[in-house]
Structure 1
């Protein structure tokens, strides 16, 4: 069956908030004269893991570490980075092509609703979505399929009518567990060979127009 609804992840796919996250943490470690270790920085599941990141920094800095100040400074720096953040290359074109094809669009993200809606609204993409499903609306995060099942329920469709787009292996696993086909657009911090469960793997959203993707998936 040819899909008539596209369901997108948000962070790292529609907007590259993964790079700004990493840069904000690098900046905060450098402020203490330290280099951020990258091993284990990106979790293999959705949701917020900043408590573990702050704990690692606290252990490296020692007793002088002030987490409240650290969080305030880091998030302020990330806000500056986000002032110029735009949708990833090719995403606006995909949204335009979807409209031309009469496809409905949705977002299924492990991030909170306020985060997802805030950035999509600023980018002018929020009102182009039929529904969203977010991490603070479900009990478990990806790779659990709960957020995709919520999106499907709000859309009122069977999984066969949808096509998911993800940038991480745990996102692909969540989509597949919900019964969806999935196109992977790996972010820069995940090895491409980890996306064997995806139906199609692209180097980037700008690499293929939607009609060509749908032809390959159908």
Structure 2
């Protein structure tokens, strides 16, 4: 199993947007509430908010150095309630588990610690460690390599169009979690779920010939 983080394990997208909005307004930068950053990496998100490259770089550095540390992400409060039980069950069944996220590596680590699932995660890959971000499949290909799985042995759980596209490009059967997605286009996914625990049924029924084996 390979999970995206934001919008799947934790409902962080709204928190990120509010934190960025408060920072930018305090800096005198206009902010559009209609902006949708779901599935975008950091560089793409900031380019959308601050078109001027020089100003954007300065604000990003200030945001990372000062503002973000003073406003840490409350991962435990934003957690999908199914996560701890699901990860324990996957571990008990001998299922290898990975994280493939566009978020920085330290955010993935903090999330795992806050949710108490660090010992259940076999591999965690940040998009910032890869040559390209989602929808490029690099983060999923690296996760597959770390888990020592072929695409046919894996399942991916995503929420955003870019994330779904990345997992599909890696050749992985992909489930779209609709719980936090809002109006996101998830039509490219192989199937949709409304609760994370539904992934257990896909492990048992093997809905696609692409998914031979029980290791993923």
TM (norm. structure 2) is 0.77
Alpha-carbon deviations, 1:109-160, whole Å to 9, x = none? 1222222123212322122111122112210000000011111111111101
Q: Residue 141 in 1 paired to residue 122 in 2?
A: no
Q: What is aligned with 1:214?
A: 203
Output aligned runs, 1:25-64, within 5 Å.
25-28=20-23, 31=26, 36-42=31-37, 45-52=40-47, 55=50
Q: Residue 184 in 1 paired to residue 176 in 2?
A: yes
Aligned equivalent of 2:14, options 2, 15, 19: 19
SS at match of 2:97: strand
Q: What is aligned with 2:167?
A: 175
SS at match of 2:50: helix
Give the whole-Å Cα distance in 1 for the aligned partners of 2:144 and 2:62: 41
How far is 1:213 from its partner?
3.5
SS at match of 1:121: helix
Give the whole-Å Cα distance in 1 for the aligned partners of 2:76 and 2:85: 19
Change (3 A) 1:31 1:204: farther
Q: Report the number of matched residues.
A: 202
Change (3 A) 1:83 1:172: closer
Kept in 2, the 8 Å contact 1:7–1:108? The answer is yes
Deviates more, 1:105-114 or 1:23-32: 23-32
Gaps of 5+ in 2: 208-216
**Which one has more relative contact order, counting CA pairs under 8 Å at least 6 apart?**
1
Output aligned runs, 1:112-127, within 5 Å.
112-127=104-119
SS at match of 1:85: helix
Gaps of 5+ in 1: 1-5
Kept in 2, the 8 Å contact 1:168–1:187? The answer is no
Kept in 2, the 8 Å contact 1:168–1:190? The answer is no
Q: Residue 90 in 1 paired to residue 82 in 2?
A: yes
Kept in 1, the 8 Å contact 2:75–2:115? The answer is no
Give the whole-Å Cα distance in 1 for the aligned partners of 2:151 and 2:62: 45
Give the whole-Å Cα distance in 2 for the aligned partners of 1:157 and 1:71: 35
Change (3 A) 1:137 1:190: same
Give the whole-Å Cα distance in 2 for the aligned partners of 1:41 and 1:210: 27
Q: What is aligned with 1:78?
A: 71
How far is 1:20 from its partner?
1.2
